[in-house]
């Protein structure tokens, strides 16, 4: 047996050990990233809900006996308030209410601007923390109090996604929803709003013959909630500037008018309060979720019992108080001229302020977890009652603060109180004294100041453990990266070390001592957390971090050997090592910044194309065509990150992209036949005669791409005309997409042939899921990936000629792969760049609102969130799969271990992850906060989905053969 190399003379045992260790390492990486990804919710976004808070009974008479809440899902403020092209009001009834009977303003929503968190803000008065995303928007992740809970009875009709959240577990409620099948994006969804109206009207009619129902309706503290989904569905399907969406605004206004007339005719007591609003808006491309004003600005109209009448605007009631809303809008935002409301006072609120407004109108306690501030400019009450209402609102928020303070104090060994509220009881006594003395203005100011401090106190306890958790998680990430690097150096390089864990007895004893001491220290830290009754995840953070550092310390002998090896190297090697590290950090920081500035990739590929082609011009004959091709391919891809992230619909461009994909495949097929005789192409081509079955497969794949282009045109045109998706079109689209992805498995196994087949195989589903220029991006990305392969093939041939056999023949025993070298770091780095450009080449994957739902309309139009999301994610993964296939081909071409390169990819990803960890924000605009969470989550998840994509693409690439001259050269040497 051979005894050189890192495996020594125990090859079989070494391979088994390596496989076991890597399975363990991958499992550890998945668990570690899953645990650490949850840490931002403990650090920045703990749930605001605290149980055990007592409600505050109001000390004023209820202005209203019942309340009607109308929520127009997905209604933008500007489309509601502005006049149409003819100068008429889109909502004439509600416009009349604004001008003659009630108050109006903009309700500012806080992202994520989705239906569930928006309704929770309106009805329960608090902003659901982002961790609720992990538990599902529809299911109730936690029990929370709401206005409906406090009512005597709640009547609700509307969407099956919203109404059950609040009413399914509520005994004192009467509710109903329409089937999910009604939510069809291929139709005009305004009939959904009429369904809710008809249900409410039927209830009133039925009560005339049902004494029990009539008695129930005559009770006080009654809430009627109608959820109107039409604008949301029509906005998604037809965009918010379409005639269907704008007509739906008129339908919503008609519903509001009809409900008002029904209630007034039925009760005849003028004791009903009405509130009309929306949970979120809608972007121009028909999506929502982020913090753009089109998503956060929603209309608010209130009228009826207990609501003030319109007030003309004047210099006295139009001043900037310096306050900013939750979506970072200033308080004194100018009203657009096209709204025609510049002469009426506008009262903007935070969305969570609507809950205390409704509670006050009904004389109910505010929901116990509400953080909304009562908007006084909406309620028509005496000064004494106004003060009592604000004080009730303040006490509710203060009770939450006191409850959180008590919980933390009782669990902490060293408690740090929130000092500004240390004398809150004396402040409450002072307010009560001022009320008794009828000094209402001073009592009001003091109550509002106390409420502001209580909100600050709630934030203080939300981030109480910030410093400790940040330190533990940071040490954990650093430890993971060091541990991963040690594994790569031990297992995939020619550095000396105990690479298979076969230590001598003394080393085993030393490791045993380290594990014992580490376990004792970890146990002491966990005991401390246990005494403080910390959440289970705190223990997981501490145990994971401690485990990693114990593993690192146990490798002290290898680290010592590594240090000696590096210190003995010549200065030029040290300089090369430092330069590699500096370049790697620069590229990774470039990628971090590219998450917020897509145009950086334009400069990246312009420079990369020019630099690579210049190097190739100097190294190989220009007649090979490779230098020119690499430059053109990079420059072509650089154009796409200049294009808008909101992809405009362009059906013709998608069809043309299919034709271009077929042309590219034909050229690749021709090169596979003829270019292999050239020195710098022969490693990737297979010049032997092709069998007829393989030729037939190529023609079949090209035919499927052409058929998918035809179906793109037919499906889109027919749906535009008929407003529905034909079952035959749907069947053909699903069949073509599914069948085409299987065919590459039966293609030839030469590198260029297999990659061309995969390029054709994934093209039909990508085209059928495309709506514009992203189809062209697919072709451009494939050209750049081919350029990368050609560049690596050229470098390989140059290395064979220029370098000695010792520098290229460091084989890992028992495999066909060589050891990793310092220069091989370029492969995972280039992969990182291409993998990330697949994220941002056609939009901003890091933004929740960048998903264009119309992409799935050629497969499904009936609303099915899970299937639609799966199709959108699959579309986004197709470019990633192309990048990973090219990466796998390059590792085979260069004969470097793919798992070793995978671990380097994860190492580089985690350098970015720890950067994004520090960039997570919980202040500022919610667009910035949401994006910071997305960036961190994407990088944390890469260890999982890159591995899954590696496993998936391995099915296509495992039998790729390269006609490389390297093996024969090694044997000769």
How does pLDDT run across 684-731, given as a tens digit for each residue? Answer: 666 454 555 567 888 899 999 999 988 888 877 776 665 566 777 788
pLDDT tier, 135 (very low <50, low <70, confident <90, very high otherwise) = very low
Query: Residue 621 has what pLDDT?
Result: 67
Share of the chain above pLDDT 90, in %: 40
Query: Residue 676 has what pLDDT?
Result: 54
Instruction: Tell me the mean pLDDT in the region 872-884.
Output: 86
Domain layout of the chain by residue ranges: 64-367, 381-462, 464-555, 576-801+819-956
Element at 568 (helix H, strand E): helix 556-568
Contact 281, 113 (CB under 8 A): yes
CA distance 416 to 408: 9
pLDDT per position as a tens digit, 199-257? 999 999 999 999 999 999 999 999 999 999 999 999 988 889 999 999 999 999 999 99
**Average pLDDT of the chain to the nearest whole number:** 83
Query: Residue 806 has what pLDDT?
Result: 40
Query: Residue 216 has what pLDDT?
Result: 93
pLDDT at 362 over 90: yes
Strands 173-177 and 349-350, bridge-based pairing: unpaired
Contact 126, 352 (CB under 8 A): yes
Lowest mean pLDDT among 287-291, 423-427, 845-849, 903-907: 845-849
CA distances 210 to 173, 195, 198, 205, Å, are 17, 22, 18, 9
Contact 503, 571 (CB under 8 A): no
Lowest mean pLDDT among 386-395, 619-628, 769-778: 619-628
Q: Which two tokens stand for residue 434?
A: 């001022």
Query: Residue 921 has what pLDDT?
Result: 74
Lowest mean pLDDT among 139-153, 257-271, 520-534, 798-812: 798-812
Contact 684, 751 (CB under 8 A): yes
Beta bridge pairs of residue 224 = 68, 155
pLDDT per position as a tens digit, 735-789? 888 899 999 888 887 788 888 899 999 999 998 888 878 888 899 999 999 999 8
Closest CA to 252 of 70, 113, 82, 68: 70
CA distance 134 to 882: 29
Element at 153 (helix H, strand E): strand 153-158
- CB 2: neighbour CB atoms within 10 A? 11
> Does the N-terminal peptide bond of residue 654 adopt cis geometry, omega within 30 degrees of 0?
no
Q: Which two tokens stand for residue 240?
A: 């918010």
CA distance 648 to 772: 6
pLDDT per position as a tens digit, 39-86? 887 777 777 788 888 899 999 999 999 999 999 999 999 999 998 888
- Give CA angle at 927 (921, 928), nearest 5°: 35
Instruction: Tell me the mean pLDDT in the region 890-900.
Output: 85
Strands 173-177 and 272-277, bridge-based pairing: unpaired
- What φ, ψ does residue 340 adopt, rounded to 5°? 65, 30
CA distance 127 to 104: 22
- What φ, ψ does residue 750 adopt, rounded to 5°? -70, 155
pLDDT tier, 922 (very low <50, low <70, confident <90, very high otherwise) = low
Q: How far is CA 565 from the centre of its chain?
A: 44
The rounded radius of gyration (Å) of the Cα atoms in the chain is 33
Contact 352, 458 (CB under 8 A): no
Query: Residue 64 has what pLDDT?
Result: 96
Length of the chain: 973
Domain range 64-367, CATH class:
alpha beta
- Give CA angle at 122 (121, 126), nearest 5°: 30
Query: For residue 860, what are the contacts with CB-CB under 8 A and spacing of at least 6?
Result: 725, 730, 867, 868, 871
Q: How many CA atoms lie within 13 A of 402 on its CB side?
A: 16
Beta bridge pairs of residue 344 = 312
pLDDT at 960 over 80: no
> Does the N-terminal peptide bond of residue 857 adopt cis geometry, omega within 30 degrees of 0?
no
- What φ, ψ does residue 381 adopt, rounded to 5°? -140, 165
pLDDT per position as a tens digit, 669-683? 887 776 655 666 666
pLDDT per position as a tens digit, 279-327? 999 988 888 877 788 999 999 999 999 999 999 887 555 555 557 787 7
Query: For residue 403, what are the contacts with CB-CB under 8 A and spacing of at least 6?
Result: 50, 52, 53
Instruction: Tell me the mean pLDDT in the region 871-896.
Output: 86
Query: Residue 558 has what pLDDT?
Result: 83
- The sign of the CA dihedral 390, 392, 396, 398 is positive
Query: Residue 773 has what pLDDT?
Result: 83
pLDDT at 965 over 90: no
Which string of DSSP letters, residue by residue, matches 178-238?
--GGG-BTTS-TTHHHHHHHHHHHHHHHHHTT-HHHHHHHTSSSEEEEEEE-HHHHHHHHH
Query: Residue 214 has what pLDDT?
Result: 93
Query: Residue 852 has what pLDDT?
Result: 60
Element at 299 (helix H, strand E): strand 297-304
CA distance 277 to 925: 22
Contact 347, 373 (CB under 8 A): no
- CB 565: neighbour CB atoms within 10 A? 13
Q: Which two tokens stand for residue 313?
A: 């605007």
pLDDT tier, 972 (very low <50, low <70, confident <90, very high otherwise) = very low
Instruction: Tell me the mean pLDDT in the region 375-386.
Output: 94
3-state secondary structure 34-66: HHHHCHHHHHCCCCCCCCCCCCCCCCCCCCCCE
Query: Residue 683 has what pLDDT?
Result: 65
Query: Residue 721 has what pLDDT?
Result: 61
Whose tokens are 């090979």? That residue is: 624
Q: Which two tokens stand for residue 548?
A: 């990693």
CA distance 853 to 287: 8
CA distance 244 to 239: 9
pLDDT tier, 874 (very low <50, low <70, confident <90, very high otherwise) = confident
pLDDT at 618 over 90: no
Beta bridge pairs of residue 811 = 818
Whose tokens are 């303003």? That residue is: 105
What DSSP state is assigned to residue 811? B
Closest CA to 468 of 520, 535, 403: 535
Query: For residue 839, what are the contacts with CB-CB under 8 A and spacing of at least 6?
Result: 845, 846, 876, 938
pLDDT per position as a tens digit, 432-463? 999 999 999 999 999 999 999 999 998 888 77
Strands 153-158 and 173-177, bridge-based pairing: parallel
Query: Residue 501 has what pLDDT?
Result: 43
Q: Which two tokens stand for residue 376?
A: 């006084």
CA distance 236 to 4: 64
CA distance 908 to 903: 9
Q: How many CA atoms lie within 13 A of 613 on its CB side?
A: 20
Query: Residue 588 has what pLDDT?
Result: 92
Query: Residue 508 has what pLDDT?
Result: 54
183-192 in b/e form (b: 16+ CB < 10 A) is bbbebbbbeb
- Give CA angle at 58 (56, 64), nearest 5°: 135
What DSSP state is assigned to residue 109? -
pLDDT tier, 818 (very low <50, low <70, confident <90, very high otherwise) = confident
Write out the E strands in 310-460: 349-350
Contact 751, 682 (CB under 8 A): no
CA distance 698 to 695: 5
- What φ, ψ does residue 341 adopt, rounded to 5°? -125, 25
Query: Residue 401 has what pLDDT?
Result: 93
Helix axes 354-362, 383-411, angle to 10 degrees: 120
pLDDT per position as a tens digit, 629-660? 889 999 999 988 888 767 777 778 888 989 99
Contact 709, 777 (CB under 8 A): no
Query: Residue 624 has what pLDDT?
Result: 66
Contact 498, 489 (CB under 8 A): no
Closest CA to 185 of 244, 226, 113, 252: 244
pLDDT at 29 over 70: yes
pLDDT at 846 over 70: no
Whose tokens are 């054709």? That residue is: 760
* SS3 category, 275: strand
* SS3 category, 379: strand
């Amino acid at each position: 047996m051979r005894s050189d190399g890192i495996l020594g003379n125990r090859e079989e045992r070494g391979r088994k050990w390596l496989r076991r260790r890597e399975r363990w390492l991958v499992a550890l990486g998945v668990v570690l990233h899953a645990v650490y990804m949850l840490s931002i919710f403990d650090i920045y976004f703990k749930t605001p809900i605290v149980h055990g808070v007592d409600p505050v009974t109001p000390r004023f008479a209820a202005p209203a006996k019942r309340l009607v809440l109308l929520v127009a899902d997905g209604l933008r403020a500007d489309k509601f308030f502005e006049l149409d092209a003819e100068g008429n009001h889109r909502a004439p009834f509600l416009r009349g209410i604004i001008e003659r009977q009630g108050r109006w303003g903009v309700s500012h929503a806080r992202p994520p601007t989705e239906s569930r968190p928006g309704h929770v803000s309106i009805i329960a008065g608090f902003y659901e923390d982002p961790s609720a995303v992990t538990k599902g928007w529809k299911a109730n992740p936690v029990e929370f109090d709401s206005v409906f809970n406090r009512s005597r009875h709640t009547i609700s009709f509307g969407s099956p996604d919203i109404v059950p959240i609040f009413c399914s577990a509520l005994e004192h409620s009467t509710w109903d929803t329409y089937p999910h099948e009604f939510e069809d994006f291929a139709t005009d969804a305004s009939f959904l709003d009429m369904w809710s109206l008809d249900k409410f009207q039927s209830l009133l009619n039925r009560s005339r013959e049902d004494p029990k129902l009539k008695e129930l309706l005559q009770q006080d503290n009654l809430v009627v909630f109608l959820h109107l989904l039409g604008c949301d569905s029509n906005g998604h399907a037809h965009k918010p500037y379409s005639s269907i969406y704008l007509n739906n605004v008129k339908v919503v206004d008609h519903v509001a008018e009809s409900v008002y007339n029904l209630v007034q005719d039925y009760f005849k007591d003028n004791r009903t309060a009405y509130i009309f609003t929306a949970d979120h808006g809608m972007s121009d491309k028909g999506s929502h979720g982020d913090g753009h004003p089109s998503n956060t600005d929603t209309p608010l109209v209130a009228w009826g019992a207990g609501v003030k009448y319109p007030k003309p605007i004047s210099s006295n009631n139009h001043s900037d108080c310096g306050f900013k809303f939750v979506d970072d809008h200033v308080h004194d935002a100018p009203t657009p001229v096209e709204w025609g409301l510049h002469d009426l006072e506008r009262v903007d609120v935070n969305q969570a302020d609507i809950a205390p407004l409704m509670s006050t109108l009904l004389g109910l306690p505010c929901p116990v977890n509400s953080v909304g501030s009562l908007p006084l400019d909406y309620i028509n009450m005496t000064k004494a009652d106004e003060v009592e209402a604000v004080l009730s609102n303040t006490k509710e928020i203060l009770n939450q603060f006191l409850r959180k303070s008590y919980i933390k104090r009782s669990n902490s060994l060293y408690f740090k109180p929130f000092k500004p509220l240390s004398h809150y009881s004396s402040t409450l006594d002072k307010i009560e004294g001022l009320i008794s003395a009828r000094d209402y203005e001073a009592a009001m100011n003091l109550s509002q100041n106390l409420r502001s401090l209580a909100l600050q106190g709630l934030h203080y306890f939300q981030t109480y453990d910030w410093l400790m958790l940040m330190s533990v998680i940071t040490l954990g990430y650093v430890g993971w990266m060091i541990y991963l690097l040690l594994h790569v150096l031990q297992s995939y390089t020619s550095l000396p070390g105990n690479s298979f864990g076969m230590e001598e007895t003394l080393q085993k004893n030393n490791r045993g001592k380290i594990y014992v001491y580490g376990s004792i220290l970890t146990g002491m830290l966990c005991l401390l957390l246990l005494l403080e009754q910390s959440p289970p995840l705190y223990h997981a953070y501490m145990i994971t971090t401690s485990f990693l550092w114990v593993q690192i310390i146990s490798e002290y002998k290898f680290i010592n050997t590594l240090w000696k090896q590096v210190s003995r190297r010549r200065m030029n090697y040290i300089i090369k090592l430092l330069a590699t590290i500096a370049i790697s950090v620069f590229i990774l920081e470039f990628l971090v910044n590219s998450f917020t500035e897509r145009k950086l990739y334009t400069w990246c590929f312009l420079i990369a194309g020019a630099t690579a082609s210049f190097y190739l011009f100097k190294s190989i004959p220009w007649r090979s065509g490779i230098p020119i091709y690499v430059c053109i391919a990079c420059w072509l891809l650089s154009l796409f990150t200049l294009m808008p992230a909101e992809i405009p619909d362009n059906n013709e461009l998608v069809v043309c992209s299919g034709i271009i994909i077929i042309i590219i495949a034909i050229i690749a097929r021709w090169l596979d036949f003829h270019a292999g005789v050239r020195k710098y192409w022969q490693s990737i081509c297979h010049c032997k005669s092709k069998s007829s079955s393989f030729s037939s497969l190529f023609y079949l794949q090209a035919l499927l791409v052409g058929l998918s282009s035809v179906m793109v045109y037919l499906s889109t045109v027919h749906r535009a005309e008929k407003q529905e998706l034909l079952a035959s079109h749907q069947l053909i689209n699903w069949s073509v997409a599914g069948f085409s992805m299987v065919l590459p498995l039966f293609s030839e196994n030469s590198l260029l042939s297999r990659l061309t087949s995969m390029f054709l195989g994934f093209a039909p589903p990508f085209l059928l899921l495309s709506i514009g220029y992203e189809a062209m991006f697919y072709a451009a990305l494939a050209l750049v990936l081919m350029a990368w392969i050609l560049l690596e093939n050229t470098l390989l041939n140059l290395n064979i000629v220029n370098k000695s056999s010792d520098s290229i023949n460091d084989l890992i025993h028992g495999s066909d792969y060589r050891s990793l070298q310092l220069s091989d770091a370029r492969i995972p780095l280039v992969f990182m760049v291409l993998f990330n450009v697949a994220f941002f080449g056609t939009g901003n994957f890091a933004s929740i609102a960048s998903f264009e739902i119309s992409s799935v309309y050629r497969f499904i139009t009936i609303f099915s969130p899970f299937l639609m999301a799966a199709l959108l994610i699959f579309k986004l993964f197709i470019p990633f799969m192309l990048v990973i296939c090219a990466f796998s081909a390059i590792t085979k071409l260069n004969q470097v271990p793919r798992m070793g390169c995978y671990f380097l990819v994860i190492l580089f990803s985690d350098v970015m992850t720890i950067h994004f960890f520090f960039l997570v924000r919980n202040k500022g605009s919610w667009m910035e906060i949401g994006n910071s969470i997305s960036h961190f989550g994407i990088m944390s998840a890469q260890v999982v989905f890159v591995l899954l994509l590696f496993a998936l693409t391995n099915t296509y690439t495992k039998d790729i053969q390269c006609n490389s001259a390297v093996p024969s050269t090694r044997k000769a040497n």
